[in-house]
Amino acid sequence: MKAEGPAMTAPLPAPDPLAPPLCDAQGRRMTYLRLSVTDRCNFRCTYCSPASWGGKKDLLDAGEFERIVSVFARMGIRRVRLTGGEPLARPDILDIAKRIAAVPGVEHLAITTNASRLESLAGPLRDAGVTQLNLSLDTLSAEVFRRISKQGDFEAVLRGIDAAAGAGFQSLKLNVVVMRGINDAEVPELVTYAHARGITPRFIELMPFGQGTPVPTAELLERLAASGSVLTEEPQESAASPTSGPARYWRMDSGRVGFISPLTQNFCGGCNRVRVASNGDLRSCLGGRAQAPLHQLIRGGATDAELAVAVRRALGEKPEGHRFTEAGNGATLLPMMGIGG
């Protein structure tokens, strides 16, 4: 009788690169895609868009953005934010928003905007499927506005914010980049302005991408307390939540106030974000230059699985933190409008 050899087993199938979860080198789960649709802007804010920035060439079209989002959604992305530059500067922004909002798996679609074009676009964006707007406003003074941005229509911004407040979005946030000696004294006034319109203000420590001096979050909290505000810190949202972000929130009688503190309260440990620039470059971290050229793969005929492999490879090199505070690191960073925020 012939002796029986060891039982033969079929080889295990290779893992599906499109199957969630999508994790980085530290095991942090990515659920949030920040997608820049343009690096052009009708403003020139000192901390974001230096005069020397010439912009990228060959930006992606609406169909390519939709393709990228669909791949990320299959990998576990649930929240998408359209950034810039100024995303509303794209003439096809409503088409882009509508396409992305319809991608299976996308549960939240947000846009960060300077609000200057919202007077006519707030309602159409909501109808296209946008659920949240983050509105950039650093000052309530026309004079200070001109110091921060040499271009831009201050009154159009205020009208756009009012239009957004009346358009029925699920969530509105007011982003304020705080600069010492420029707008830091306006923090209480900006809180009152935002809460009067049902908007949550968020104060952001200036990051080392341009001009200006940052103001620590602790100092802003002291300033609000000195103005008579009573603040109670809210529990931090779980980083595993698809809607979580880097902000920490406090409650006041009139509403919530958020603080984003990349320098003094590093938020990298709970990072759930991946960024794609307007030309299709995937950037695994806001504070670095490592990238994956998704646009070249798409235009070269790559399959969705091949795109997913490139994404996972790039995230496998994502650093533990942004290293903004390391000496000399600012010189290696792209301007904010070149990254997509």
- Could you report the per-residue pLDDT of 86-145, keeping only the tens digit for each? 999 999 999 999 999 999 999 999 999 999 999 999 999 999 999 999 999 999 999 999
Residue 163 in this model has a pLDDT that exceeds 60: yes
- Is 271 annotated for ligand binding? yes
Report whether 268 belongs to an annotated binding site.
Answer: yes
Of 217-226, 296-305, 320-329, the least confident? 320-329
| 23 marked as binding residue | no
Q: Which residues contact 83 (CB under 8 A, 6 or more apart)?
A: 34, 35, 36, 37, 111, 112, 340, 341
Cβ atoms of 258 and 238 closer than 8 Å: no
Encode pLDDT of 55-68 as tens digits. Answer: 666 899 999 999 99
Give the model's pLDDT for residue 92.
Answer: 98
Answer yes or no: is 48 a known binding residue: yes
- Phi, psi for residue 219 in degrees, rounded to 5: -70, -35
| CATH fold for the domain made of 32-332 | TIM Barrel (3.20.20)
The answer on whether 112 is annotated among ligand-binding residues is yes
CA distance 291 to 156: 36
285 is in an annotated binding site: yes
More confident of the two residues 30 and 283: 30
Give the chain's mean pLDDT.
Answer: 87
Reported as a single tens digit per residue, the pLDDT across 19-75 is 999 999 889 999 999 999 998 888 888 887 655 555 666 899 999 999 999 999 999
Banded pLDDT at 333 (limits 50, 70, 90): very low
**Nearest residue to 128 via CA among 175, 66, 84:** 66
Domain boundaries, the chain: 32-332
The confidence score (pLDDT) of residue 44 equals 81
* 85 annotated binding-site participant: yes
Give, in degrees to the nearest 5, the angle at Cα 33 between 32 and 35.
Answer: 155
Query: Are residues 136 and 84 in contact, defined by beta-carbon separation less than 8 angstroms?
Result: no
Give the mean model confidence (pLDDT) for residues 231-239: 79
At 242 the pLDDT is: 46
Q: Is 67 annotated as a binding residue?
A: no
Query: Is 229 annotated for ligand binding?
Result: no
Structure confidence at residue 125 (pLDDT): 98
- How many angstroms separate the first and last alpha carbons of the chain? 72
> Which pLDDT score is estimated for 46?
83
Spell out the residues 6+ positions from residue 221 whose beta carbon is closer than 8 angstroms to its own.
Answer: 231, 250, 259
81 is in an annotated binding site: yes
